[in-house]
Structure 1
Amino acid sequence: MSEPAGARLLDAHLVVERGDFRLDLPLTINPGEVVALLGPNGAGKTTALRALAGLLPLSAGHLTLAGREWDHPDRRVWIPTERRPIGVVFQDYLLFPHLTALDNVAFGPRRHGLGRQQARQRAADWLTRMGLAAHARRKPRQLSGGQAQRVALARALAVEPALLLLDEPLAALDAGTRLDTRAQLHRHLAAHTGATLLVTHDPLDALVLADRLVIIEDGHVVQEGDAATITARPRTDYVARLVGLNLYRGRAAGQRVRLSADFGLTTGDRHDGEVFVAFPPSAVALHPRQPDGSPRNTWPATIAGVQRHGDNLRIQLNGPIEVAADVTPAAAAQLRLVPGQRVWAAVKAAETRAYPAG
């Protein structure tokens, strides 16, 4: 990041050891910035969130927020959750079932020392911002999923947190509600002047809501950057699947990239040395016989699986490389694609991207 260290609202190095697992995550977030933390199950996302919230002490490293140390094991500094300037929206929202929406939102400000009337006024203001003024007297069971999510967000923001933590905030919603709520959440996050960390497994939530993505696997950062950088140049299989690309690593000599002892691809880029090669499933054409003509890359493959993927079918292929191909239902019917069938795969060199692996 080009921002000076002084601009960082959150400056942390989260090291947590739990049994055989070790989280080792450097993390910085600037004022007004939304950072998405992504990774497969078991990567350490929840551990990171719990450490930031003060629910799990660091084993090493440090956590500085708004210029103050909140956790620093070497200096024996640890500030408990209730004294940290944070707001949290949990996956299942965890609204108090016996309180109205208004009192749910007022709960945080009351805990932070505001009087009852002041806290309720702040809560009412936040519910108005969320478009929920008419639902202030309702209890959580009387709210829709999208409404409950907005109450939970209002409750988190009402304490004016330096750090807002969002734990899979849209996961509990159905597809239709999710679309509208994502757009509303994006608007509210854009107005939040503190730092925001979004923990999610959904690439669409991350791409729409976040300014920057941090991707972890096995407790370590494997890639970091804005959405355009991540989607253009994935560096692990998990990231490639996340952004919908086929990804391979090999050794380049000019436009030819050797992926194994007996298989290589011709790419549209020239490199020498270790590179990644990436191309979308839509770039893979399937043929019943070896094609003639323009494709520089053709190979025999066996269909391992056929799945619905949006308006197309996602075909999983085995062969000298494992590859995903997207074809239309009409093309699949014409080719009579079924698991176990032998086909020829083709990718034009111009459809591939090669970039250094170092």
Structure 2
Amino acid sequence: MTAPLLDGHLVVDRAGFRLDVRLHVAAGEVVALLGPNGAGKTTALRALAGLQPLDAGRLRLDSVVLDQPDARRFVRPERRPVGVVFQDYLLFPHLNARDNVAFGPRRQGLPRRAARERATAWLDRVGLAAQAGRRPRQLSGGQAQRVALARALAVHPALLLLDEPLAALDARTRLDTRAELHRHLADHAGAAVLVTHDPLDALALADRLVIVEDGRVVQEGDAATVTTRPRTDYVARLVGLNLHRGRADGRHVHLGDGFAVPTAHQLDGDAFVVFAPTAVTLHPHRPDGDAPHTWPATVAGVHRHGDHLRVQLTGAVSTVADVTPAAAAGLRLLPGQQVWASVAAGDTRAYPVGP
């Protein structure tokens, strides 16, 4: 990565919670902050925007320190070269689309006429020139999102922040707007940070993923690295994989209770092993032969998942299996039922716990 435009160590203390996140974003790079509810994503975004002062650490943007408590340095939100697209867009209801977009440039000192001309140009770029005179209540959700994006970009921000920018849209509008947002982010020369809980938004829009849990970064990297080598249960669930940690000894990862997952490659030491729900085969009885990779399990729940049924399994190895409706009917799966599960070496992937 090139030298970071954004270089931050964000430390925020709240009652019973501490955010302690290091974040670096290069010019032209889009970084997605992902994590469960309460992980600290929104707190991090508010700290970047200046809406939440740091309690410790430092935030630097393009060689300018915006927040450093021990140096008594804090730049107010309105004086930061930062554009924000909020989850609910927060457009001014009494202003039309053009004046909403012109608001930021006017605050920067641009004369009214020049600010409106810039706003008109940005509305044209996001395909809303014909809606310039409409107020927010007269716009669709997708149109309001584009006005909010144009308003954020019209101030020529060094840092663009997007807080769940597609969450308020229906599925069809979300698909179209995601593609359009990707195009605008690709044209943005500054740094961009996207806060989302949706892995599809993150994978489609971001160059790099930063996973936050309990106020800490637990994993980061490009999409391929994160999705193929998850390091926490949350990340594994996010990308639809079963994740277990054990001790590798040759071509098996031992998980305890005599159960070992086979692997296709040689590995020794502490290891993670992952496999897809579709890789798990269920049997009504224990298969014949010596099969250390077969284990007893209890059906905890069954629900539809696309064209398959997703089966939650508990026991010595809690896991998730996807089976066809025909297979489920043959097994007569019901909560509390005892089954046997297995996975083949070619369907697993193991990797060291260390970096």
* Alignment of 1:356 onto 2:352: yes
Q: Secondary structure at the match of 1:9?
A: strand
Partner of 2:33: 37
Q: Secondary structure at the match of 2:165?
A: coil
**Alignment length, in residue pairs?**
354
Cα distance in 1 for partners of 2:170, 2:107 equals: 33
Partner of 2:263: 267
Q: TM-score, normalised by structure 2?
A: 0.97
Query: Equivalent residues in 2 for 1:308-327 (5 A)?
Result: 308-327=304-323
Deviation of the 1:73 alpha carbon = 1.1
Query: Equivalent residues in 2 for 1:1-358 (5 A)?
Result: 2-3=1-2, 7-292=3-288, 297-358=293-354
Deviation of the 1:318 alpha carbon = 1.2
Cα distance in 1 for partners of 2:349, 2:81 equals: 44
**Residue type of the partner of 2:88?**
D
Deviation of the 1:342 alpha carbon = 1.8
- Matched-pair contact (CA < 8 Å) for 1:296–1:349: no
Cα distance in 2 for partners of 1:190, 1:357 equals: 34
- Matched-pair contact (CA < 8 Å) for 2:207–2:222: yes
User: Bigger CA drift: 145-154 or 294-303?
Assistant: 294-303
**Residue type of the partner of 2:5?**
L
- Matched-pair contact (CA < 8 Å) for 1:295–1:349: no
Structure 2 unpaired stretches of 5+: none
- Matched-pair contact (CA < 8 Å) for 1:86–1:165: yes
Q: Closer, same or farther in 2 for the Cα pair 1:262/1:177, shift >3 Å?
A: same
- Matched-pair contact (CA < 8 Å) for 2:260–2:292: no
- Matched-pair contact (CA < 8 Å) for 1:296–1:347: no
Deviation of the 1:293 alpha carbon = 7.8
Cα distance in 2 for partners of 1:313, 1:113 equals: 59
- Matched-pair contact (CA < 8 Å) for 1:58–1:72: yes
Q: Percent identity?
A: 71
Q: TM-score, normalised by structure 1?
A: 0.96
Report the RMSD for the aligned CA atoms in angstroms: 1.4
Deviation of the 1:313 alpha carbon = 1.5
